[in-house]
Amino acid sequence: MSVLEIKNLHVNVETDQGTREILRGVDLVINEGEIHAIMGPNGSGKSTLAYTIAGHPKYTVVDGEILLDGENVLEMSVDERARAGLFLAMQYPVEIPGVTVTNFLRTAKTAIDGEAPAIRTWLKDVRGAMSNLKMDQAFAERNVNEGFSGGEKKRNEILQLELLKPKFAVLDETDSGLDVDALKIVSEGVNRAHQTTGLGILLITHYTRILRYIKPDFVHVFVAGRIAEQGGPELADRLEEEGYDRYQVAESAVVEAAAE
Amino acid sequence: MTAPQQSTAMPTAEQHGIRAHSDGAGAVVPVQTRSERFCSADVADFAPVNGREHEWKLSPVATFADLTGGELDGSRTPVESVEAEGVSVSWIGRDDVRIGTAGLPEDRGSANAWSSFGEAMLIAVTGEEQKTASVTRTALGSAPRAAHTVIEAAPNSRGLVVLRGTGDARLVENVEILVGEGANLTVVSLQEWSDDSVHLASHFARVGRDAKLKHIVVSLGGKVVRLNPSTHLAEQGGDVEALGLYFSDAGQHLEQQVYVHHDAPHTRSRVTYKGALQGEGARTVWIGDVLIGNAAVGTDSYEQNRNLVLTDGTRADSVPNLEIETGDIEGAGHASATGRFDDEQLFYLMARGIREEEARRLVVRGFLTEIVQQIGSPELEEHLIAALEAELQGS
Ligand SMILES: Nc1ncnc2c1ncn2[C@@H]1O[C@H](COP(=O)(O)OP(=O)(O)OP(=O)(O)O)[C@@H](O)[C@H]1O
Ligand SMILES: [Mg+2]
């Protein structure tokens, strides 16, 4: 039974104006197979949390812990975290010129498994996963994310999720910029990964529409660098109706002041 | 447009996360229309090199004063050639009518070589079958040498000629490339010299009617390699694809001054040079001059240079110059960009489990193999990919 634990996480970022505190004590436990949705206003620190879990060098952890099955994730390099079973589907996936999707996927799979996948089954897996996500096979020979539309980039993230089979995935606004059909296709991909591998999911979103396809076990309201409230799926509906106002009155003043 | 228009282009920001950068921008402004630059085959017509001349100002002239000013051994260079049916290698005298028909020296090093060579090596390509031949020069020693080569592709012939250099060399040379009417010639100049070597070369190509030249410069080894290819699109329908690939390590100076002269109607040129710099004192220079002359109506031209900076302590100069003397062209453009290795790319790859070393290699390989893939010789492509791999391992 895998578990990802985030304890009292405080994270700073260096800006031109000096050090800025963004995460201010995040506590979260995700068990294998659980789906946690995180919703919160722009700038509240959701992506920062996602990047910090993945180990982006821009973010400095000043306090707290991240543990994966008891192992200290903060001591691992970015690639070690991925090999340990963490996956981040990025809000803005990066273009890698000169590196084809095929080559990239094979290299990543080899790194994660510690050995090259058997060619025949691998090609079949890639083709199958692409067709499930309604990605044209031509994408396989294109350079990673280069010239992909926003929606195509998101599909490419989920393609990797399905092929690399992590233990825990953070999906940072994977639903943003998707039309209804694409949203459905991408959600099905996430659900497939969830069902076949017992993936634990941290789903960052602004909209409840994706929660119609991906059913969260828990919903967390993220405001000003920490979790302000948690509940079940019904909390998402309430947020959709009421917005974040009731959490922000006190918090926003603090954040704005810090941002000045 | 009658007045020559010059643009010492500011590098433009390009896609791929490569940021524009201004090293050397505007550093080299042609003193006059490029075609009016002084040229002579006689070294005595050039003043001694002081390093301030526009053609030398980005080069480490003190490291090769012997080549630009001293006495040179002009005897035959030892070569190993792999011939093919339809490609022959022989030696011709200084008085051969072909010599001097593609161009003349524009700098003192080139003129010194021209004044000093005894015989020229002739590589003659005939026949319409595609074939590959290579000429390798190995271990030319540390005494300064001069050489002259003529590569002649007969009308309607096809072929690929590889000039390769390995081992030690202090060499200054001229290479004339004559592409006959309707011929399709690829010339690959591959510099894999030893770490102490110095190689100065001027290539002069003349492309005939409806002929096509693919000219590829690959510079990997040598302390100083300065290879300046110029192409004269002298007749209607001529086409040049000028490609370059260089990987500069610590203390290495790799330079190329590329010149394309559109001098006839409906000519086309594509210049694409890509380089990587890695290590303290790694230095590269790319100057790309394109002149679209009065007669060159319907010209289609594009030149670009991209540099990928892998470490601190490097310097890449990248200067495109475009002169247009006729308004009646199809298109002309240029781009130049020098960028750091992109940390976001690295993060993305590592976030998928790929180790840092391998992630870097993946990106650099991707960046450079675009050129390798256009060579058209599977063996050579394989060789180059392995050579680039070795360069990357050296980090
Ligand atoms: N590298 C950085 N440099 C400066 N400020 C940063 C950096 N990264 C994040 N921030 C700031 O930290 C705050 C939180 O950013 P973050 O991207 O985590 O928000 P978010 O909740 O994901 O917002 P959104 O919903 O718009 O995606 C923002 O005010 C942002 O400007
Ligand atoms: Mg965000």
Domain regions of chain A by residue span: 3-259
Query: What CA–CA distance (Å, rounded) separates B255 from B199?
Result: 10
Query: What CA–CA distance (Å, rounded) separates A152 from A159?
Result: 10
Interchain contact A114–B (C-beta under 8 A): no
Atom of ligand 1 nearest to the CA of A41: 25
Contact state of B366 with A96 under an 8 Å Cβ cutoff = yes
Kindly give the distance from the C-alpha atom of residue B318 to the centroid of ligand 2, in angstroms, as a whole number.
37
pLDDT tens figures, A181-194: 999 999 999 999 99
- Is a pLDDT exceeding 50 seen at residue A211? yes
pLDDT attached to residue B389: 86
pLDDT attached to residue B327: 86
- Is a pLDDT exceeding 60 seen at residue B11? no
Query: What CA–CA distance (Å, rounded) separates A46 from A175?
Result: 14
Query: What CA–CA distance (Å, rounded) separates B289 from B256?
Result: 11
pLDDT attached to residue A228: 94
Give the percent of chain B with pLDDT over 90.
80
Q: Which of B333, B337, B330, B360 is nearest to B347 (CA)?
A: B360
Q: Give me the number of domains chain B comprises.
A: 1
Size of interface A-B (CB pairs under 8 A): 84
Return the residue whose CA atom lies nearest to atom 4 of ligand 1. A15
- Is a pLDDT exceeding 70 seen at residue B127? yes
- Is a pLDDT exceeding 60 seen at residue B8? no
Ligand 1 pocket, residues with Cβ under 6 angstroms? A 13, 15, 22, 40, 42-48, 58, 91
pLDDT tens figures, B167-207: 999 999 999 999 999 999 999 999 999 999 999 999 999 99
Q: Specify the fold of A3-259.
A: Rossmann fold (3.40.50)
Q: β-strands A168-172, A200-205: how paired? A: parallel
Atom of ligand 1 nearest to the CA of A44: 21
Can you read off the two tokens belonging to residue B15? Answer: 């896609």
Which of A81, A94, A105, A113 is the best mutation test for B, with the most CBs of B within 10 A? A94
> Chain B interface residues facing chain A, Cβ-Cβ under 8 Å?
15-17, 342-345, 347-356, 358-359, 362-363, 365-370
Query: What CA–CA distance (Å, rounded) separates A256 from A177?
Result: 27
Determine the residue of chain A that is closest to B342 in CA distance: A96
pLDDT attached to residue B31: 52
What torsion do the CA atoms of B342, B344, B348, B350 make, to the nearest 10 degrees? 70
- Is a pLDDT exceeding 80 seen at residue B2? no
User: What pairs with residue B187 in β-bridges?
Assistant: B161, B215
Q: Which of A250, A206, A202 is nearest to A87 (CA)?
A: A202
- Is a pLDDT exceeding 90 seen at residue B314? yes
Q: Which of A79-83, A124-128, B268-272, B356-360 has the lowest mean pLDDT?
A: B356-360
> A56 contacts in B (CB within 8 Å)?
347
Average pLDDT along chain B: 90
Q: Which of A42-56, A108-122, A245-259 has the lowest mean pLDDT?
A: A245-259
Can you read off the two tokens belonging to residue A222? Answer: 């993220």
**How far, rounded to the nearest angstrom, does the alpha carbon of residue B353 sit from its chain's CA centroid?**
38
Q: Is residue B243 part of a domain?
A: yes
Kindly give the distance from the C-alpha atom of residue A243 to the centroid of ligand 1, in angstroms, as a whole number.
20
Query: What CA–CA distance (Å, rounded) separates B394 from B391?
Result: 5
pTM above 0.95, yes or no: no
What torsion do the CA atoms of A107, A109, A113, A119 make, to the nearest 10 degrees? -90
> B366 contacts in A (CB within 8 Å)?
96-99, 143
Measure Cα distances from B334 to A147, B305, B315 in Å: 21, 8, 21
pLDDT attached to residue A249: 58
Contact state of B349 with A96 under an 8 Å Cβ cutoff = yes
Interchain contact A57–B (C-beta under 8 A): yes
Measure Cα distances from B123 to B101, B102, B238 in Å: 15, 15, 21
Residue tagged 């001097």 (tokens): B100
- Which residue of A96, A99, A112 is in closest CB contact with B353? A112
pLDDT tens figures, A72-96: 999 999 999 999 999 999 999 999 9
By three-state DSSP, how is residue B183 classified?
coil
Instruction: Check if the beta carbon of residue A200 is closer than 8 Å to that of residue A33.
Output: yes
Return the residue whose CA atom lies nearest to atom 29 of ligand 1. A43
User: What pairs with residue A20 in β-bridges?
Assistant: A13
Give the percent of chain B with pLDDT over 70.
92
What torsion do the CA atoms of A147, B12, B36, B39 make, to the nearest 10 degrees? -80
Looking at residue B127, its amino acid is G
Query: What CA–CA distance (Å, rounded) separates B255 from B238?
Result: 26
Q: What is the residue range of B296's domain?
A: 13-341
- Share of chain B residues as helix, strand and coil, in percent rounded to the nearest 5: 15, 45, 40
pLDDT tens figures, B274-307: 999 999 999 999 999 999 999 999 999 999 999 9
Q: Give the ipTM of the model, two decimals please.
A: 0.94
pLDDT average, residue stretch B60-84: 95
pLDDT attached to residue A254: 53
- pLDDT confidence of A126, banded at 50, 70, 90? very high
Instruction: Check if the beta carbon of residue B348 is closer than 8 Å to that of residue A93.
Output: yes
Report the residue among A48, A60, A222 best suited for mutation to probe ligand 1: largest number of ligand atoms under 8 A from its CB: A48
Alpha-carbon gap: B102 to the closest alpha carbon of chain A (Å): 36
pLDDT average, residue stretch B60-71: 97
B225, containing H or E segment: strand B224-233
- pLDDT confidence of B7, banded at 50, 70, 90? very low
Query: What CA–CA distance (Å, rounded) separates A164 from A85?
Result: 9
pLDDT tens figures, B329-372: 999 999 999 988 788 999 999 999 999 989 988 988 888 888 99
Which of B272, B352, B372, B385 is the best mutation test for A, with the most CBs of A within 10 A? B352
pLDDT attached to residue B27: 38
pLDDT attached to residue B14: 33
Query: What CA–CA distance (Å, rounded) separates B72 from A91?
Result: 62
Q: Is residue B384 part of a domain?
A: no
Can you read off the two tokens belonging to residue B11? Answer: 């590098």
Average pLDDT along chain A: 93
Contact state of A93 with B348 under an 8 Å Cβ cutoff = yes
Alpha-carbon gap: A51 to the closest alpha carbon of chain B (Å): 10
Kindly give the distance from the C-alpha atom of residue A147 to the centroid of ligand 1, in angstroms, as a whole number.
25
Interchain contact A79–B (C-beta under 8 A): yes
Contact state of B366 with A164 under an 8 Å Cβ cutoff = no
Instruction: Check if the beta carbon of residue B205 is closer than 8 Å to that of residue B215.
Output: yes
pLDDT average, residue stretch A241-247: 85
- Is a pLDDT exceeding 80 seen at residue A67? yes
> How many helices (H) and strands (E) are present in chain A, helices listed first?
8, 10
pLDDT attached to residue B61: 98
Which of B350, B361, B365 is the best mutation test for A, with the most CBs of A within 10 A? B350
Contact state of B352 with A94 under an 8 Å Cβ cutoff = no
Query: What CA–CA distance (Å, rounded) separates B335 from B272?
Result: 9
- Which residue of A82, A98, A103 is in closest CB contact with B353? A82
Alpha-carbon gap: A54 to the closest alpha carbon of chain B (Å): 7
**Torsion sign, CA atoms A191, A193, A194, A199:** negative
Instruction: Check if the beta carbon of residue B48 is closer than 8 Å to that of residue B121.
Output: no
Residue tagged 């700073």 (tokens): A12
- The count of C-alpha atoms lying within 13 angstroms of the C-alpha of B113, restricted to the half-sphere facing its C-beta, is 30
Q: β-strands B283-292, B253-262: how paired? A: parallel
> A103 contacts in B (CB within 8 Å)?
362
Can you read off the two tokens belonging to residue A124? Answer: 């079949």
